[in-house]
Structure 1
C-alpha cells in the first residue's frame, strides 16, 4: 500500500507542470524509524514507556484472571447455591469483567494511555526532523521529501507545487455555477474563469481593498452621524433646560404677583 501511494505521489509530482518536468524534479526521502532508533533521548523514553506498558499488561491480565477464577468458582459451587445467590454472583462477575475491559481499553484502546504517550514521545523528535528536513531541502534544492515508513509519506513539498488554491477555486466555481441565473451572470462567471490564478488573486485583492474602503467610509459616516446626533441631543437638552428654567421663573413671578394681590385684599378687608 505504501509503495502504491508513493508511486501515485511521484507521478503527480512529475506531472505538475511541463516546465518543472523539463528542469527535473529533485526528490529525497527519509527513514523515520531509523532516525528514531538512533536518537538516544527517544530510546530512553521508549524504554520507560515499555516498562509502564508491561505493568499495564500485568495488571490487565491479573484482572481478567480474577474474573475467570470467579467464574470457575461459581461453576463449582452452583449446585450448592440458591438461585438468588447465583444471580448475585453472576452480577458481581459481570461488573468485575466490565471494570477489567474498561481498564484494558483505557490503557491500550485507540484513545488510551499507550497511544497518547507514544504520540507525546514521538512529537518532539518529529518537530526536530521536520525542521531539519526543511533546512536540507533548501540547501540541496529538493522539491519533495518523503518518509518511506509512513502511509502517506510526503513530509516536505516546495510551495510552487501546492495546488490547494486551484482545487478550492474549482470547488467554488462548481458551487457558483449551480446558483447562476441569466446570461449576464453566466458571461461574468466565464470571464472570471478565464483569469489565471495570479490575475484572480489580484482581482480578489482589489475587491478586498474596495470593500475595506467601503467599510471605512461607512464607519466614518456612522461616526459623523453619531457625533451629529450627540450634538443635537446636547442642544435639545440645553433647550429643554433653558425652557424649563424660563417657565419656572414665570411661574415664580406669577405666584409672587398673586400673593401680593392677596395681601392687598386682606389689608383692605
Structure 2
C-alpha cells in the first residue's frame, strides 16, 4: 500500500469525469428509441384513459336506469363494471408498474448505451493511464469539476466511430426492432428477469381469467334459478286463474239449469183455467222481471270477468315488453 502511494506521489494521480446524461442526449440511436418508447407509453396511457372513461359512462348509465331494473339486474351490471375496472387496473399495472413493460423497456434501452460507455471509458482509462473516472450525472456529489477533465466528448466520439463501423448491422437490427415493436434484449440476466416477469404476468392473467369464468358461471346459475322461480310463479298463477274460471263456469251452468226449470214451470202454468188467468198473468209478469234482473246481473258478471281478463293480459304484455327491453339493453352493453 505504501509503495502504491509512493508511485502515485511520484507521477501524480490522473482523474477525469464524464457526463452520462450529455452523452445519451447526443446518441441518435438512443434518442430515436426513446421517442419510440415515449410514443408507445402515450398510446398505452390513451388506451387506459379511454377504457376508464367507458367504465365511468357505464356507471352513469346504470345509475340512470336503476329505477327500471330489478335488484338482481342491478347487481349483475355492477359486477360487470367492477370486473372490467379491475381488468383495466391490472393492465395499467402491467404497463406502468414497478416491474411493468415501460420500466423493463427503459432498462433495455439504457443497457446497450451504458455498455458502450463503460467499454469506451475502460479503453480510454487504460490507454491514457487514468486512475479514476467519475460520472458527473451519478449519485456522487461533485462540488466542482473543471472542463479540462471532462472526457464526455471523447467518449461520445468513440461511440460514434464504433456505430459507424457497425452501420450496416445496426440498420438490420433497427428494421427488425421496428417490425417487432420491441427493444432488443440485452443479456442473459436481463432475459431471465424478463422471462420470470412474463411468467408472473401469465400466471396473474390465468388467475384473473379463472376468476372471471367462475363469476360468469355463478351468474348464469343465478339467472337460471331466477327464471325457474319465475316460471313456477307463472304456472301457479295460471292454475289459480283456471280454477276461478272453472268455478265461474259451474256457477253459470247451475244458473242455466234453474232458468230451464223456471221456463218449464211457466209452460205448465199456461194450462190453468180461465178463472186463474188474471192472477197467473200478474205472477208471470213478476217472474219476467226477476228473470230480466237475473240476466242483467249475469251480463254484468260476464263483463267484469272479461274486463279482468283484458287487464290481466295487458299486465302480462307490459311485463314481457319490459323484460324484452331489459334484455336488449343488456345485450347492447
TM range (shorter): 0.3 to 0.5
TM-score, length of structure 2 as denominator length:
0.38
User: Taking structure 1 as the reference length, what is the TM-score of the superposition?
Assistant: 0.47
Larger Rg: 2
